[in-house]
Amino acid sequence: MSWFFDLLTAAVYSLLIQNIIFNSGLALSETVRTARRPKFFLMYGVSVLYFSLTTSLICSLINLIPAVKSLSMIWHMAIFAVILAIVTFATSVFAIVVLKANKKFMNSLGMCAINSLVLAIPIINSRSALSVASSVGSAIGAALAFVLALLFVNSAMRKIASNKDIPKSFRGLPAVFVYMALLALAFNCLSGQESFI
Amino acid sequence: MDKKEKVGLTLPRMLFKGSFVYSPVLTQSIGICTIVAICFTLKISLIVSITLTFILLINEIMASLILKKLSRWMRIICYMLLSTLLLIPIMLILDKNYSQLNASMGIYLPLLAVNSLIVIRCEKYAVKNNLKLSVFDALSAGLGYGVTAIIVGGIREIAAFGTLLGKTVTELPGYSGMALPFGGLIVLGFTAAFHKWFVKKYFSDQPTNTFPLRTAFETPLIREEGLNITTGTLSILSDPAVTNEEALSEKTEKDASEKAPVKTEENAEKDGDNQ
């Protein structure tokens, strides 16, 4: 059962303690742009989960090879990027041939694969020397953190759009950035990091 | 952009408009991850900006010349691989000559390979235009990204460490929080607000609301779009009632304002007149 606890701990850590979006600043632009389009939430959430999980699993298995493990971060990044490209290609071919996916879906799928979160997770796992179970947990936690961030930012956007008391210059994107800054500060405090000392 | 407008664009005009007025970071929230996460010193901001502009330039050239013929999902994979290929020598050079600086950038420099600015500019511009215009676009987008990164990086370096390019500029105590993503977002928010005010004041003919939030009121995906399990295919199930996005967003905005009446500026002025 220890693998399950490893997985769960890593997932909770990526989601709450060291929130990958707000504490590390990963995938922020994707979060802001997707949060504006709630009708893509389900598709983006599932796709990011799929890509981060698959890439993370394959990368952590490949990282078990001593020759790969001994390489520097630069070469790890290169290998992981190639793996992500292969996973994206295979998924796209499967979606076209088997699922008969339409053009719009294929375009969105590509944008999910290029999410910086998807490539960042295997690199973080490799640098932290996480086990396979922890890597999978970290990928699940990261995808959940992305969905959580989408919900938070969408809720903020709704409030900002209907609040006329916000100064004109801050309306829209500037207010969203400031709101996200406060959320980042909150998650920062949750992680126990000292912010102003 | 129509043909007449396109022809009238000179390099300086395109550079200025593309980089400043339509700054990709401040008006469309593209590529903010790197700025928020690692641009906390001027030196790092400069390195990131130059690297990204170089990668963007090569990607747009390739997209304009060769990748046009491929389908979009294949092009996205090509951008990722090409960017990775370009980043390897850059990172090796940085690692050899500026190892400390490279270490402080951590995993974020490799992540430039999947920076959204590259994919979006290539897809929205390079694949639809010729080589010359694509090069102009890459330079203007890179410059816009760089200017924002440098402004944010400079402000954060002063606020966090009291230095600028490593030289002490203030004896006031530094706030280390400014070097964290929280500080980056705060500075980015205020920079975006200043940019909006400036563009509205001095370029009143340009649209300032380039990132409308009205679509945030749309109903979730489950009702309108999703997996068509019965036929075993993935398809977009469009609801005829919501095909007109503008109509929907206007309706939702109207509904929201009706549900939660707020004191608008016009009303406030009227109230003031009445008093």
Does residue A196 fall inside a structural domain? no
Same domain for B88 and B184?
yes
| Residue B110 scores a pLDDT above 60 | yes
Indicate whether B241 belongs to any domain. yes
Parent domain of A163? 2-191
The 10s digit of each residue's pLDDT in A105-151 is: 888 888 888 888 899 999 988 888 888 899 999 999 999 999 999 99
**B91 and B157 fall within a common domain:** yes
- The last residue of a domain, from among B139, B170, B202: B202
Residues in chain A with CB shorter than 8 Å from the CB of B221 are 38-43
B186 with B128, same domain: the answer is: yes
**B31/B264 Cα distance (integer angstroms):** 33
- Cα A125 from Cα B238, distance rounded (Å): 40
**Token pair for residue A79?**
């290998």
Residue A88 CA, distance from chain mean position:
16
Judged by CB atoms closer than 8 Å, whether chains meet at B115 and A104 is answered as no
Same domain, B41 and B157: yes
B110:A115 CB<8 A: no
pLDDT, average across residues B213-238? 45
Mean pLDDT across B192-203: 89
Residues 6+ apart with CB under 8 A from B9: B17, B133, B136
B180 CB neighbours in chain A (<8 A) are 184, 188, 193, 195
Q: What pLDDT sits at residue B207?
A: 65
The answer to whether the Cβ–Cβ distance between A105 and B119 falls below 8 Å is no
Domain coverage including residue B152: 9-202
Residue with tokens 């019965």: B230
Q: Is the pLDDT of residue B12 over 80?
A: no
Taking CB atoms and an 8 Å cutoff, what residues of chain A touch B151? none
Contact assignment for A165 to B263 by CB distance below 8 Å = yes
Residue A64, in any domain of the structure: yes
The reported pLDDT for the residue numbered A84 is 92
Q: Is residue A197 part of a domain?
A: no
Q: Tell whether B231 and B182 lie within a shared domain.
A: no
Indicate if B140 and B71 belong to the same structural domain: yes
Residue B3 lies in a domain: no
Query: Two tokens at A109?
Result: 């799928």
Copy the structure tokens of residue A11.
């997932």
Query: Looking at the domain assignment, is residue B209 inside a domain?
Result: no
Residue B1 in domain: no
Are B156 and B224 in the same domain? Answer: no
A150, A41 in Cβ contact below 8 A? Answer: yes
Question: Is the pLDDT confidence value at B234 over 70?
Answer: no
What pLDDT, in 10s, does the model give residues B159-170? Answer: 988 888 888 888
Question: Has residue A189 got a pLDDT over 50?
Answer: yes
Q: Return the HEC string of A126-176.
A: HHCCCCHHHHHHHHHHHHHHHHHHHHHHHHHHHHHHHCCCCCHHHCCHHHH
Average pLDDT over residues A186-193: 82
Residue B110: inside a domain, yes or no? Answer: yes
Instruction: Encode pLDDT of B136-164 as tens digits.
Output: 889 999 999 999 999 999 999 999 888 88
User: B75 lies in a domain?
Assistant: yes
B252 and B195 within one domain: no
Tally of CB atoms within 10 A around B160? 18
Average pLDDT, stretch B84-104?
A: 89
* Strand extents, DSSP E, chain A: none
CB contact under 8 Å between A195 and B88, yes or no, is no
The answer to the question of residue B208 being in a domain is no
Cross-chain Cβ contact B185/A178 below 8 Å: yes
Split at pLDDT 50, 70, 90, the class of B79 is very high
A109·B114 Cβ contact <8 A: no
Residues of A in contact with B200 (CB under 8 A): 168-169
Interface test with B, best of A28, A73, A96, A121 (most B CBs within 10 A): A28
Number of domains in chain B: 2
Mutation target to probe the B interface, by most B beta carbons within 10 A, among A146, A173, A176, A191 is: A173
pLDDT exceeds 60 at position B219: no
Q: Please tell me the distance in Å from A5's CA to the nearest CA on chain B.
A: 27
- Average pLDDT for chain B: 77
The reply to whether B33 and B87 lie within a common domain is yes
What average pLDDT score do residues A36-50 get?
88
Average pLDDT over residues A168-193: 88
Q: Which of A96, A153, A162 to mutate to test the interface with B (most CBs of B within 10 A)?
A: A162
ipTM, interface predicted TM-score of the complex: 0.90
Minimal CA separation from B198 to chain A, in Å: 9
Query: Cβ of B242: how many Cβ atoms within 10 Å?
Result: 18
In a domain, B4, yes or no: no
Contacts of A20 in chain B (CB under 8 A): none
Nearest-CA distance A1 → chain B (Å): 32
Q: Which residue has the tokens 């694509």?
A: B134
**Residue A120: inside a domain:** yes
Tell me if B79 and A114 make a contact (CB, 8 A cut-off).
yes
Q: What percent of chain A has pLDDT over 70?
A: 97
| CB-CB contact of B183 with B36 (8 Å) | no
Q: What is the torsional sign of CA A118, A24, B153, B92?
A: negative
pLDDT at B270: 46
Per-residue pLDDT for B2 more than 90? no
Is residue B110 located within the same domain as residue B225? no
Higher pLDDT, B236 or A147: A147
At B9 the pLDDT is: 60
Ranges A37-51, A121-135, B208-222, B261-275: which has the least confidence: B261-275
Which residue in this structure is represented by tokens 């699993």? A57
Give B131 to chain A, closest Cα distance, Å. Answer: 24
Q: How many domains does chain A have?
A: 1
Q: Angle CA(A1)–CA(A15)–CA(A173) in degrees, nearest 5?
A: 165
- How many angstroms separate the Cα of B83 from the Cα of each of A78, A105, B53, B65, B151? 10, 24, 11, 16, 25
